Amino acid sequence: MNQEHRKANVALRKKRLILTIGSSLVASGLIIGIPVGLVSNLSVTKDPLFDVQKQANSISSISLKSDVVENNADYFSLKSKLFDSDGTKKSGVNLTDFFDFYAQNSNSNFEIVDFQNDFQWQKFKLNITDIEALDQEQSFKIYWRVLQNLDDDKVANSDLHSATVAYNPVSKLSNSSLSNFTSLAKAELSKLRPYFISEFDKSPTRQIAKLTPISEFLDKVNLAKSALEASKIISQYFNLESTITNLLKNKINKFVDDNNFAKSKYSIELIQEPVLKNAYLSKTPLKNIYRVYFLAKFSSDFAKHNNQDLKLAPNFNFAVDLDFSDTFLDGSLANDIELTPFSDNDLTNFSDIHEQSSEKITSWELLNYLKNQVFPSYKEKQTFYKNLLNQVSNVPLLSKIKLKNYISRLKNSDLFSKIKIDFSVDPEKTQFVYQNNKIIIQFHGNIEIYNDKNEIIAQKPFVQNVGNYSVLVKNMPDLISKAKATNFEFKQKDAQISEQNPVPKEEIEKLVNSGDFGKLKNILENPHYYGVKFDEEKLKLLVEKYDVIPVDQLIERSRWTFTYPEEVAGIVNVLSPVFQSGEEMLRFYSALAQKDINFVVKYFFDWLKGLKLIDPAQTWPENLDNTNLFKELAKIKIENKSGWNNFLQEKDRKIQKDIWLFSINNNYWAEKGRMPYSFYLHPRLKNIIDLMVQNEQNTIGVDYYISQIRSESSKIQEIDPTLGDQYRSPIKTLTDFIVAFYQNIYSNKTGLLSESLGNNFDYKINFEIVHPKAATTQFEDESSPRSTISGFNFVHVNQPVNAPQTRDSEPQPTKEAQQESKVNLKYWYEVGPVDQNGKIISVIFKTQPKEITISTNKDGVIIPESIEKLNNFVDNFPSATLPTYLDNNDFNDLWTNINRLVGDKEDYVDITELIKKFPMYSYFSLHYPELGLAVKKDVVKKPVESEPTEVTVQAPAVPAPAPTPPAPASAPAPAPAPAEPSPPAEPAPTPKSTGELAGIYENYPGIDTIKVLHFYVYNKKNPNEFSTKKMKFFVYQTDKSLLNS
């Protein structure tokens, strides 16, 4: 069992890999050759084996009890009490009565273990299993272990330990005396510190720890050839030498020799780790905690003074843990550096302050320009933003750095001989913020600290706000023209309208006059009323964050095969639901282009390979670098590897084109002569591709090629005449494809905006009622608060305000009624920062206004929000998947019983008793217990009496076919229920005559064995409010009823 315990303990220590040298004492005189225990930093566990091992390892030293030494004149006298004359051990001797065991207490002092009264030791026992007499050394070798009795009559035993204890009657070189000194030394050496600034002048060899990496310091110490050399190295950085000197000079640690000179009683030496003996200084498992080892012993002078052999005197080794947090050159140095904000003077161009005619640039213009720039690599993009931030101020950014704490007191020559400070800007986080009633641009970045090996060892985030660009305009004069030429193109489409239930005109006017545009927009967009679809796609791009979809997800959501005409024409058209609009497609391209080119080419390689436009067996080239990238990509062919074959006819095969155009979701049909979202190769790029492939010496880098593509692509006209057949260049390799991609990006004139404007920015719609006389002037009135244009760039769109709008259905009342019931609404969007209530604080961009004309109805009703929620529930409930099957008797009984319960009631009626066994009701009540179902007859309006008029009715030439009924085997897909039941013009038929009850159940057209049952939904907490929409369930007459029990 003990052997198993030992194996388990060894396995535990190996598994934890946390073997640390405990603060231990080893005697080499009176206490000879005691192995230092390996102490884990683990916390106390419920494992008794672990506990006894821990306690045994905490024993630091062993000595003979003082009374044992005093009561025995010499070694042999003591031996006779332990052994018989023949050398065998005496029986009945309690060996623990002869030896003291030392351990370190909670106060870091070394004291004798009291197994009876010490709380930490009370549950343990000491067992000395054997003893040997070493006459030549006049010592005893003992074997011992710690044990603990367990509740189940088992015993947990530690590993067997051994120690050699020498007999020495000298009391002046006692264990206790040296133990006390060791405790004091440990406490003082734990306070080691780096030198103060004022202390460096006292010695030219002293080094600044804060400017030295911890790894460098460790290497120096542990590679020392001797303990003395290691001590000197530590003393170059820490006050080790002075600490030891002061400790030994203390009066309590001195004695007076025979010549009446005060001398040190003790000595302290640096030693290597006692067990492995491979380091003077080692790292512990605790963060920033390092351990250094010392040996404490009596001085040679003191031993000589007492006529004792120093070799037989006790000596203790011990470990001191030092906290090096914020001590060496590491990430903590960032805490000593801060960046102060630019001042107004820093951002003001004083040479131009009195010139009223100087050109200005706004935050909107600048940020719009920045967000539309595409770079061949992320590194180039960072460099551009870094230069921009340096050019925006009269002073360099680094001049705004302020040093704090320890390093602020160092000489610059010392500081900057060891470190270098620079900064980087994060372009992705550059955004608008609203501050001090002003919209400004906020730059985010990092202050970077480099060591003398040019490695970043610390970074500190910074933020700089810039709202005055006069210095930037002075330093970069061509910036204004570039920024103003980068328009945010917003060609807003006409709103689509599908009127169902118009609301009163007064309600529309009230919402407009009160400025409650959000509620008005909700009513207009609600399909129950108007079903308006506003074009907001590109506005969403301004305020929503965007991440490029992972390529594996894009592969899963893309498909491609040649259609017959596309194969003949050489057009690859990929279909993917990822891109719902041209704007989303463009944002994908531009966001991808913002990435490093290595990311871009690998992304397209994986996607095209997933689409089988690249051979699935093709592997990614190895050893790509900045100069051979395009040359190697030219070896990867783009061709149809899908296996799809259209079996082209001979005449089409003769005119078949190579792949020359890459498009998504049929975009190549979008606009004649213009394909802003498709890839093709313009003749201008041919020479660049030839140079890429022929780069024999690999001397030209990626940046050069991209700059050439950018230069040539920017000259391509928006309506490109080179799209004609005679100019089409084939896309045969991945290099061709990548060039076509960047050509698409750099030739685009519509504004990319791959990144959002910033946090807390949004767009809001505004409305005005346009009256016939004021329609042409109201919005242009500069005195109108609502029409005032902000100081930011207002982008005019070449589209008429009164553009025609599309309607799915439009009532045709009389001229007078039409004039009164119609409302012309002018609407436009404003973009800017919003407050906590979602209200725009300051407008940075405003769209060109457009108009919609809507009908109104004085009898219309705006449904309360609580009922709207019920209607939404009805719209989304899967009623079509929950059919009910009844035999002939149950089928007929259901309608009879409904007629009986409803009778002449015109209110809502609960028919739960009739349907509680239906599967559809079981599902409904189980998942939505808070809701209930009710039926209600449609209200029948009597026809208004009027003068008879002749009406000629043209009979249809061909009768309309009845709808195809759903198959009984599966649930039918119901037709959409009307948002609100329309009353019939004539009295509803009676149930007896038609088998229907208006508003409650009806025959499925053309089939007598299927009926449609309608229910209104209500919330049981508010049983007086019902949905205005009805859920419809299908009931089938079959041979057998399928009901729940």
Strand 289-298 with 266-271, pairing? antiparallel
d(CA 112, CA 346): 70
Same domain? For 410 and 477 the reply is yes
Residue 877 lies in a domain: yes
Token reading at 760: 């807390």
pLDDT of amino acid 752: 55
Residue 950 lies in a domain: no
Same domain? For 223 and 347 the reply is no
Same domain? For 47 and 149 the reply is yes
Same domain? For 454 and 505 the reply is no
- Total residue count of the chain as it appears in this document: 1045
Residue 914 lies in a domain: yes
- Per-residue pLDDT of 177-192, as tens digits, reads 777 788 788 888 988 9
Q: What is the arithmetic mean of pLDDT over 274-284?
A: 85
- Per-residue pLDDT of 212-250, as tens digits, reads 889 999 999 999 999 999 999 999 999 999 999 988 888
Residue 838 backbone class (left: φ over 0; alpha: ψ -120 to 50; beta: rest): left
Same domain? For 604 and 729 the reply is yes
- Identify whether the C-beta of residue 494 lies closer than 8 Å to the C-beta of residue 806: yes
Residue 491 lies in a domain: no
For residue 1011, CA distances in Å to 315, 383, 913, 924, 1035 come to 103, 72, 19, 20, 5
pLDDT exceeds cutoff 90 at 894: yes
- Per-residue pLDDT of 774-824, as tens digits, reads 444 334 433 333 333 233 333 333 333 334 444 444 445 444 444 568 999
pLDDT exceeds cutoff 80 at 271: yes
d(CA 953, CA 738): 66
pLDDT of amino acid 977: 36
Residue 1043 lies in a domain: no
Q: What is the arithmetic mean of pLDDT over 859-876?
A: 90
User: What is the residue-averaged pLDDT of the chain?
Assistant: 79
pLDDT of amino acid 110: 63
Q: How many domains does the chain have?
A: 6
d(CA 385, CA 461): 16
Residue 957 lies in a domain: no
Query: Where is the domain boundary, 747, 766, 791?
Result: 747
pLDDT exceeds cutoff 90 at 1014: yes
Same domain? For 848 and 811 the reply is yes
Q: Which domain does 1020 fall in, by range?
A: 865-940+962-1037
DSSP at 935:
B
- Range 223-229, long-range pairs (CB < 8 A, 24+ positions): 224/280, 227/269, 227/270, 227/271, 227/272, 227/280, 228/270
Same domain? For 601 and 538 the reply is no
Q: What is the arithmetic mean of pLDDT over 892-908?
A: 94
612 exposed, middle or buried (CB, 10 Å; 0-12, 13-18, 19+)?
A: middle
- Per-residue pLDDT of 109-136, as tens digits, reads 567 788 888 878 888 999 999 999 988 8
Token reading at 364: 């909107």
Q: Is 64 helix (H, G, I), strand (E, B) or coil?
A: strand
Query: Where is the domain boundary, 723, 747, 771?
Result: 747
Highest mean pLDDT among 325-334, 351-360, 502-511, 990-999: 502-511
Same domain? For 105 and 217 the reply is no
Confidence of residue 346 (pLDDT cuts 50, 70, 90): confident
Same domain? For 10 and 154 the reply is yes
Residue 947 lies in a domain: no
Confidence of residue 737 (pLDDT cuts 50, 70, 90): very high
Confidence of residue 722 (pLDDT cuts 50, 70, 90): low
- Per-residue pLDDT of 33-88, as tens digits, reads 333 333 333 333 468 888 889 888 888 778 888 778 767 778 888 899 999 988 89
Same domain? For 427 and 559 the reply is no
pLDDT of amino acid 172: 53
pLDDT of amino acid 726: 60
Query: Where is the domain boundary, 713, 747, 781?
Result: 747
pLDDT exceeds cutoff 60 at 956: no
Same domain? For 718 and 769 the reply is no
Q: What is the arithmetic mean of pLDDT over 313-333?
A: 84
d(CA 812, CA 499): 12
Percent helix, strand and coil across the chain, each to the nearest 5: 35, 20, 45
Token reading at 223: 């590679």
Q: What is the arithmetic mean of pLDDT over 575-596?
A: 84
CA-based nearest residue to 590, from 443, 793, 750: 750
Q: Select the more confidently predicted residue: 358 or 291.
A: 291
pLDDT exceeds cutoff 70 at 511: yes
Residue 945 lies in a domain: no
d(CA 349, CA 251): 70
Same domain? For 347 and 378 the reply is yes
- Identify whether the C-beta of residue 515 lies closer than 8 Å to the C-beta of residue 544: no
Residue position matching structure tokens 């009446």: 260
